[in-house]
Amino acid sequence: MTKSCTPKTMRARQDGRLVLLLGCILFVVLGTFAEHLSETPVTDFTAVYYGARCLIQHHDPYNVQELSALYTAEGGTFPSDPAEARLLRMLICYCVNLPTTILLIAPLAILPFKTATAIWMAVVAACFIFAAFLVWDVAARYAPEISGGLLFLLVVGGVLLLSSGNTAGLVVSLTVIAVWCLVRERFAVAGVVCLAVSLAVKPHDAGFVWLYFFLAGGVQRKRALQALAVTAVLGLTSVLWVSRIAPDWSHELQANVRTGALPGGANNPGPTSAGGRGVDMMINLQTVVSRFDDDPGFYNPVVYGLCGALLLAWCVRTFRSGFSADTVWFGLAAAGALSLLPVYHRSYDAKLLLLTVPACAMLWAREGAIRWWALALTAAAILSTSDLFWILLFHFTRYSRSSLILSTFPAPLLLLLLGVFYLWVYVKESGGAAIAAQPA
């Protein structure tokens, strides 16, 4: 039963909204500032921009030599330090983007790099802020001030979405927008398109969100299948285009991915990784398990087994219980946290934790210890994956050995705890043990 809008409630909603608005302003200012200060700004966007530009000029973007030649021919440079040059070359010239990502960026790749970068940053910022306000629209009904505070931490912590230009900024935003549309059953076409684009660009970010709607059945399954059909069309179009110019693209893509995952590589989760630590750290659970034995034959089965069991339980519960407005946000919160753990993800992917804020707000509106557990775990997970938090920590510690080791553990372990917590709530709630939350 909805409470009346008392002056206290209206003031709380106004305060929460202002906190979120302040966070959005700081996100744009700090993200733009970090992009200008970085020695290698928008590296991730640079990689996909030149990959698309390479294809437009009828060169193979998955061939390291061809992409590197284009990059340097158009004014791109590498640092004088050999180690830094090797890392930057691996980030830019070893294309690991799917053909669908190249297809998405192709219209921007026609433009000069600086113009394309400005447009990309503006689109990412606008979509991310819009997604945050849609989450606020849901969560503020239950706990406006708590929701505003959590969203402030999450949005301000998304500095790398702008300074690196990674496509996760757009994918996460479109995924959250799609969720709002499909849960609220409004603007269904927009929701289907947003989910389809997210699946086409980063299926490991949007995949379990799509799976939720598919398993939930009813009209949600219909929307999920429609999104899958649009994704298939985008995928087929991009593959035909890439295959015409680079017939060996799939083998080259696999080789590039393997190169980055080698010991010492930029995407290797082991202790010797060149790019798995630091501000844009990897957050998948392999980064923790590999500390015990730096062998993929050990840490991958352990992580797959643990996460597989949890996600299987989530799948079974979703399939059996179906879609319910009372439990949807608990199911999506569990999926959002757990899906970040079994495969390669970095801190910018963790902005998918936007999906946990409504669930936390719903639990905060209840009585008992569960409200404090929800707030503590959700806030801790958001803070541990915050770009701004690690930027400040590494700045003051000057990337000390202890701070680098510290960056390995909190995020994956807190995501695991958060995922297990919301999975427990989801199973309990969808099993009929729900205690009604009172909207504010």
Question: How far apart are the C-alpha atoms of 341 and 80, rounded to whole Å?
Answer: 36
Question: How far apart are the C-alpha atoms of 435 and 112, rounded to whole Å?
Answer: 56
Using an 8 Å Cβ cutoff, are 299 and 313 in contact? no
Question: How far apart are the C-alpha atoms of 369 and 225, rounded to whole Å?
Answer: 39
The dihedral over CA atoms of 142, 329, 149, 437, expressed in degrees to the nearest 10, equals 20
* Residue 187 zone, left/alpha/beta (φ > 0; ψ -120 to 50; rest): left
Q: How far is CA 423 from the centre of its chain?
A: 19
Using an 8 Å Cβ cutoff, are 134 and 187 in contact? no
Q: Is the pTM of this model over 0.75?
A: yes
Which pLDDT value is given to residue 394? 79
For 323, residues 6+ apart whose C-beta sits below 8 A from its C-beta are: 213, 216, 217, 218, 220
Question: How far apart are the C-alpha atoms of 324 and 391, rounded to whole Å?
Answer: 40
Q: Which residues pair with 282 in a beta bridge?
A: 346
**310-335 as b/e: b if 16+ CB within 10 A:** bbebbbebbeebebeeebbbbbbbbb
Which pLDDT value is given to residue 40? 73
Using an 8 Å Cβ cutoff, are 131 and 172 in contact? yes
Question: How far apart are the C-alpha atoms of 227 and 248, rounded to whole Å?
Answer: 28
Task: Residue 87: count other Cβ atoms within 10 Å of its Cβ.
Answer: 19
Half-sphere exposure of residue 93: CA atoms within 13 angstroms, side-chain side: 19
Which pLDDT value is given to residue 9? 78
Q: Which residue has the tokens 């301000």?
A: 156
The tokens describing 153, both together, are 């931490």
Ranges of residues in the chain with a pLDDT under 50 are 1-4, 433-438
* E-state strands within 93-241: none
| Closest to 104 in 3D by CA, of 211, 202, 209 | 202
The tokens describing 76, both together, are 């791109």
